[in-house]
Amino acid sequence: MKFTKQTKRDLYTCVMVILFYVVIQVLDKAGVLSFHIKGLLVPLCYYSIAAVALNLVVGILGDLSLGHAGFMCVGAFSASLFSVAVKESGMPAGLRFLTALIIGTLMAALFGFLIGIPVLRLNGDYLAIVTLAFGEIIKNFLAAVYLGYDEEGLHVAFKSFQLKGEGKMLINGAMGIQGTPTDSTFTISIVILLLALFAIQNLVNSRAGRAIMAIRDNRIAAEAVGINITKYKMLAFTVSAAIAGTAGVLFSHNTSTLTASSTYFGYNVSILILVYVVLGGIGNIRGSIIATAILYILPELLRGLNSYRMLIYSIVLIVIMLINWAPAAIAFRERYGIRAFIGRKRENSGKEVS
Amino acid sequence: MLNFLTYFVNGISLGSIYAIIALGYTMVYGIAKMLNFAHGDVIMIGSYIIYTSMVTWGLDPLLSIVIAAAGCTVLGIVTEKVAYKPLRGAASSLAVLITAIGVSYLLQNLALLIFTANPKSFSSVVSWDGISLAGGELKIQGVTIITIITSLIVLLALQTFIKKTKQGQAMVAVSEDKGAAALMGINVNKTISLTFAIGSGLAAIAGALLCSAYPNLTPYTGAMPGIKAFVAAVLGGIGSIPGAMIGGLLLGIIESLSKRYISTQLSDAIVFSILIIVLLVRPTGLLGKKVQEKV
């Protein structure tokens, strides 16, 4: 069997993830990993998944979304709601978590689709700010809603209320959802990361993926050769939202308390994921995973650096953008034949066609 | 009724603050065609400068505002030169937006290192108690009145500057067509720097008013008002100065009234819904000009 260069590159990415998993398992068996480090593994996976999902929109589709934390929030809440509701019904834990994952992913996909309809008509800055707005609306809405059931049925309100007789509060306003079963394990998270990688790499290398990249490089030219802009933009955005939703499910099933607070689902989280994507290389799927791993684990290991961590991130973010995108820097690189520092390979895409 | 009036007046005051911030946004967007994500954080830096000079050095409030305005002006020019100018003409408009996010992060974390995350209680720059109407039932705070007056003065001054001075006309020319403006002998780089300077100076004034009305200063104080002011700028029509004023006032009133009558937690969601509706129904805003996309 012969592989193309791209397939090989994709396989290396998967092998890299599997190797990472094996190394961690070996270290765990040897008893080297502290409890603290083990607690970081699942978050590392869901942030990687979110970063890969965001890279599909930012790198492959070429639109900036600042609302991916909102899709994580949708996935997290819908899946947690399901898990809490069926917790006492005797459903086997494996099946319950699988269903929760599917529900979270589908709900996020649905929201991605619905939000995509208006959002994808916009361009550039407007698109970024509207996705941010949607993310904040989702978060604020879920932080304000109360949902519970009792003898009289299901109640939804924006004020705290009393349940009559037998019943349970499912979403308790700003207190969120309590008692989500902690089903997320490192193994499951790695499997889902691999699945997400598989889905995205296949999409990117397909006919649809090439259409999406054509839209990114020149929307008008793509339209002229008959590519259905709306369809492919929606496809990329919905898939990205769905995968971000899966990351959200892993998030919500990692701890038993889930609240829609700014710390977890605010636009700052979307920006943090964007930092992972940009530092890993816009459009470079493998880079997103590596950047997330380094940026997430390293500061936790170097506790002393922690107060400087975000400062360093921000400086690195600015410097990388300047080196990679400034016309003067591009001209300098072209003259001396230096490859872009980090980022997708741009064959002539930086040049204006005149 | 009095209750409604109180919230309405508070809304106008909040809206005036949004309007001053939105003026900075709209000018920078009109000229540099970039969303300066860090604008809200310039407000925060300005507020910290005022806090330091008033509380630590014990200076006069007015003098503090002047120092802050000068500091923010320098900050605005420096960030433009270092972070945004090299990216002018970059292939992707995402580049400068992400860089602006980076600058926003940088300012927040600098403030976090210098001033820590503990909220500072900001003492109001306005020492006037305000007036009571309707036999003392309707109280309007001094800071509310000063805010509204300040924003009107700023608006008039800015309009006059743009309409009547050479520099102002140069700004209009650059925002219309950079190349043609350069051919007419306008120094484009200098004009863009001037725009950033004015926008950032206004941010310092907005910071003083914002923190006098809501005296709780943290490194994240500026972020949310910054984003809402952008919503205001879009609502009024980006690039339009009276539009920014109207958008700001409308947004402030809507936010204040929805806090009172609908829900405190949902007020932000309502504000953002307005942004979405405006962009879908009338993408150029209330007073914006329609721009045809060219191939």
- If you write DSSP's letter for every residue of B253-276 in order, what string do you get? HHHHHHHHHT-TTTHHHHHHHHHH
Q: Is B295 within 8 Å of A352 when comparing Cβ atoms?
A: no
Q: What is the DSSP letter of A91?
A: -
Cα separation, A50 vs A287, whole angstroms: 13
Q: Which amino acid is at B138?
A: L
B53-66: b or e for each residue (b if 16 or more CB lie within 10 Å)?
Answer: bbeeeebebeebbb
List the single residue in A118, A140, A308 with the smallest CB-CB distance to B269. A140
List the single residue in B86, B93, B106 with the smallest CB-CB distance to A315. B106
**A145 vs B: CB within 8 A:** no
pLDDT of residue B88: 86
SS3 A168: strand
- If you write DSSP's letter for every residue of A220-286 in order, what string do you get? HHHHHTT--HHHHHHHHHHHHHHHHHHHHHHHHTTSS-B---HHHHSHHHHHHHHHHHHHH-TT-HH
Same structural domain, A333 and A262 = no
Find all residues with CB under 8 Å of A247, minimum gap 6, and list them: A46, A47, A49, A50, A53, A72, A75
- Let me know if residue A8 belongs to a domain: no
Same structural domain, A206 and A343 = no
A174-213 pLDDT, tens per residue? 888 888 888 889 999 999 999 999 999 999 999 999 999 9
- Let me know if residue A314 belongs to a domain: yes
pLDDT of residue A323: 87
SS3 A171: strand
Which residues of chain B does A349 touch, with a Cβ-Cβ cutoff of 8 Å? 91
- Let me know if residue A101 belongs to a domain: yes
Which residues of chain B does A134 touch, with a Cβ-Cβ cutoff of 8 Å? 272, 276
Which residues of chain A does B275 touch, with a Cβ-Cβ cutoff of 8 Å? 129-130, 133
Interhelix angle B2-32/B223-236, rounded to 10 degrees, is 80
User: What parts of chain A have a pLDDT lower than 50?
Assistant: 344-354
**A114 vs B: CB within 8 A:** no
- If you write DSSP's letter for every residue of B117-173 in order, what string do you get? SSPBPPPPS----EEEETTTTEEEEHHHHHHHHHHHHHHHHHHHHHHHSHHHHHHHH
Same structural domain, A256 and A313 = no
Portion 87-116 of B in contact with A at CB < 8 A: 87-95, 97-99, 101-103, 105-106, 108-110, 112-113
A256-280 pLDDT, tens per residue? 889 988 888 988 899 889 989 988 8
Find all residues with CB under 8 Å of B79, minimum gap 6, and list them: B38, B103, B196
Q: Is A317 within 8 Å of B295 when comparing Cβ atoms?
A: no
Query: Which residue in chain A is spatially nearest to B113 when comparing CA positions?
Result: A307
- Let me know if residue A22 belongs to a domain: no
What is the token pair recorded at B244? 């920014």
Q: Is B87 within 8 Å of A325 when comparing Cβ atoms?
A: yes
**A16 vs B: CB within 8 A:** no
List the single residue in A124, A129, A315 with the smallest CB-CB distance to B230. A129
Interhelix angle B39-51/B2-32, rounded to 10 degrees, is 120
**A310 vs B: CB within 8 A:** yes
Portion 273-292 of B in contact with A at CB < 8 A: 273, 275-276, 279-280, 283
**A342 vs B: CB within 8 A:** no
Contact between B205 and B76 (Cβ < 8 Å): no
Query: Which residue in chain B is spatially nearest to A261 when comparing CA positions?
Result: B265
* H helix and E strand count, chain B: 11, 2
pLDDT of residue A316: 85
Same structural domain, A164 and A220 = yes
Same structural domain, A253 and A342 = no
Same structural domain, A222 and A89 = yes
List the single residue in A174, A311, A325 with the smallest CB-CB distance to B113. A311
Cα separation, B265 vs B242, whole angstroms: 30
pLDDT of residue A347: 44
Same structural domain, A241 and A286 = yes
* Nearest CA-CA distance, residue A137 and chain B, Å: 4
Interhelix angle A229-252/A207-217, rounded to 10 degrees, is 110
Distance from the Cα of residue A44 to its chain's centroid: 11
Cα separation, A252 vs B25, whole angstroms: 37
Portion 13-42 of B in contact with A at CB < 8 A: 29, 34-35
Q: Decide which of A261, A283, A300 is a domain's last residue.
A: A300
Same structural domain, A273 and A125 = yes
3-state secondary structure A100-152: HHHHHHHHHHHHHHHHHHHHCCCCHHHHHHHHHHHHHHHHHHHHHCEEEEECC
Nearest to A331 by CA among A353, A354, A351: A351
Same structural domain, A187 and A155 = yes
Q: Is A140 within 8 Å of B276 when comparing Cβ atoms?
A: no
List the single residue in B98, B234, B273 with the smallest CB-CB distance to A278. B98
Same structural domain, A313 and A257 = no
Which residues of chain B does A130 touch, with a Cβ-Cβ cutoff of 8 Å? 275-276, 279
Q: Which helix (H) or strand (E) element contains residue A170? A: strand A168-172
Contact between B12 and B148 (Cβ < 8 Å): yes
For residue B130, the cross-strand partners are B141
Contact between A18 and A194 (Cβ < 8 Å): yes
Q: Is A327 within 8 Å of B106 when comparing Cβ atoms?
A: no
Q: Which of A61, A117, A125 to mutate to test the interface with B (most CBs of B within 10 A)?
A: A125
pLDDT of residue B16: 93
Q: Decide which of A300, A317, A333 is a domain's last residue.
A: A300
Which residues of chain B does A141 touch, with a Cβ-Cβ cutoff of 8 Å? 266, 269
Total of domains in chain A: 2
Same structural domain, A338 and A207 = no
pLDDT of residue A348: 42
User: What parts of chain B have a pLDDT lower than 50?
Assistant: none
- Let me know if residue A1 belongs to a domain: no
Same structural domain, A313 and A277 = no
SS3 A154: strand
Nearest to A139 by CA among A296, A275, A16, A262: A262
CATH of the domain at A255: 1.10.3470
Q: Which of A127, A139, A140 to mutate to test the interface with B (most CBs of B within 10 A)?
A: A140
What is the token pair recorded at A186? 């490192």
B289: exposed, middle or buried (C-beta count within 10 Å: 0-12, 13-18, 19+)? exposed
Q: Which domain holds residue A79?
A: 39-300
Report the phi/psi class of residue A299: left, alpha or beta, with left for phi > 0 and alpha for psi in -120 to 50: alpha
Computed on alpha carbons and rounded to an integer, the radius of gyration of chain B in Å comes to 19
Portion 163-182 of A in contact with B at CB < 8 A: 174
Cα separation, A128 vs A267, whole angstroms: 11
SS3 A217: helix
Cα separation, A295 vs A300, whole angstroms: 9
pLDDT of residue B295: 52
